[in-house]
């Protein structure tokens, strides 16, 4: 079984594979940032490996566990602990992808399906993935969790918390994650990271057509209405002037 180790310095080409192995890291935060003189992708000890095997490799082993959260985002993933797992380290990145996805629950984005050690990820449809897609997904989930917890950690149930719940629900759609990915991709290319040049949004692999979402709050257009198109970029959309100014 061959594997291709993909570290944070991606260069100009990142291979794709139906199976990506996520090594158990020591830190629980992943972020992607662009800078004037280069790009930093990942944070902490995130390490992804593309595996030269197909999803069918797991047919006779332990069952794969599906992630409702990533399915909501249009990037349906399944996971299983490595059969040769010797590590007992808590796999923070994978567990974030398997967090509770129900905004009505008190455990939203804080209760996890616990995976330990190295974990194999596959798309539910068995199609190939790029490590960059996984890193973008982790960043998006991490940002969403932080926004939710920062705003609501000390809130009691009521009108104010319901407003925040509506905002976070808008982020839990394929359209929202697709918009985030495309914005991130453009940001990375402008910063000189050519690894993103041939990487497509994982949502566009799931859905034949993906409607745009607001580039600031990630809300979709209301029925019968259209989002505003940014006159300058022609590639960003907003649900109103307030979001356009915010962005």
Any domain includes 105: yes
Mean pLDDT over the full length of the chain: 80
- 61 falls in which pLDDT band (50, 70, 90)? confident
- Helix/strand/coil for 93: helix
State whether residue 167 is helix, strand or coil: helix
Angle at 173 between CA 170 and CA 179, to 5 degrees: 90
User: Would you say residue 213 has pLDDT above 90?
Assistant: no
- pLDDT for residue 20 is more than 70: yes
Is residue 43 pLDDT above 50, yes or no? Answer: no
Residue 224 lies in a domain: no
In a domain, 227, yes or no: no
In 86-158, alpha helices (H): 92-97, 131-152
The reply to whether 204 falls in a domain is: yes
Residue 32 lies in a domain: yes
Q: Would you say residue 242 lies in a domain?
A: no
Residue 34 pLDDT exceeds 50: no
Which residues is 75 bridged to in the sheet?
Answer: none
Is pLDDT above 90 for 41?
no
Q: What is the pLDDT of residues 80-98, one digit of tens each?
A: 988 776 677 888 889 999 9
**CA distances in angstroms from 108 to 94, 154, 157, 173, listed in the order given:** 16, 15, 14, 15
148-207 pLDDT tens trace? 888 877 777 878 888 888 888 889 999 999 999 999 998 899 898 888 888 999 999 999
Tokens in use for 125? 């449809």
For residue 221, being part of any structural domain is answered with no
DSSP 220: P
If one counts the domains in the chain, the total is: 1
Supply the pTM of this predicted model: 0.82
Residue 241 resides in a domain: no
Nearest to 56 by CA among 104, 120, 10: 120
105 pLDDT tier (thresholds 50, 70, 90): confident
H or E element in which residue 224 lies: none
Give the span between the Cα atoms of 16 and 50, in whole angstroms: 7
Range of the domain at 32: 1-210
Q: How confident is the model at residue 132 (pLDDT cuts 50, 70, 90)?
A: very high
* CB-based burial label for 182 (10 Å; 0-12, 13-18, 19+): buried
Q: Closest Cα partner for 137 from 178, 169, 108?
A: 178
């Amino acid at each position: 079984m061959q594997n291709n180790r993909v570290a944070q310095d991606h260069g100009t080409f990142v291979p794709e594979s139906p199976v990506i192995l996520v090594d158990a890291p020591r830190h629980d935060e992943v972020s992607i940032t662009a800078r004037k003189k280069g790009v930093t992708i990942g944070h902490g000890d995130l390490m992804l490996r593309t595996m030269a095997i197909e999803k069918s490799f797991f047919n006779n082993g332990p069952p794969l566990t599906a992630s409702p959260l990533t399915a909501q985002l249009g990037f349906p993933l399944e996971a299983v602990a490595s059969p040769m797992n010797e590590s007992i380290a808590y796999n923070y990145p994978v567990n974030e992808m398997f967090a509770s996805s129900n905004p009505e629950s008190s455990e939203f984005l804080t209760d996890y399906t616990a995976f330990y050690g190295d974990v194999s990820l596959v798309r539910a449809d068995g199609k190939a993935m790029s490590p960059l897609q996984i890193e973008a997904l982790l960043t998006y989930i991490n940002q969403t969790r932080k926004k939710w917890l920062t705003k609501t950690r000390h809130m009691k149930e009521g009108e104010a918390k319901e407003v925040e719940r509506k905002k976070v629900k808008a982020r839990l759609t394929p359209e929202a994650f697709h918009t985030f990915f495309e914005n991130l991709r453009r940001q990375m290319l402008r910063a000189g990271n050519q690894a993103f040049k041939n990487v497509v949004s994982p949502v566009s692999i799931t859905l034949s057509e993906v409607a745009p979402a607001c580039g600031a709050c990630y809300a979709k257009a209301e029925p019968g209405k259209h989002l505003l198109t940014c006159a300058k970029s022609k590639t960003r959309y907003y649900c109103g002037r307030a979001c356009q100014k915010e962005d």
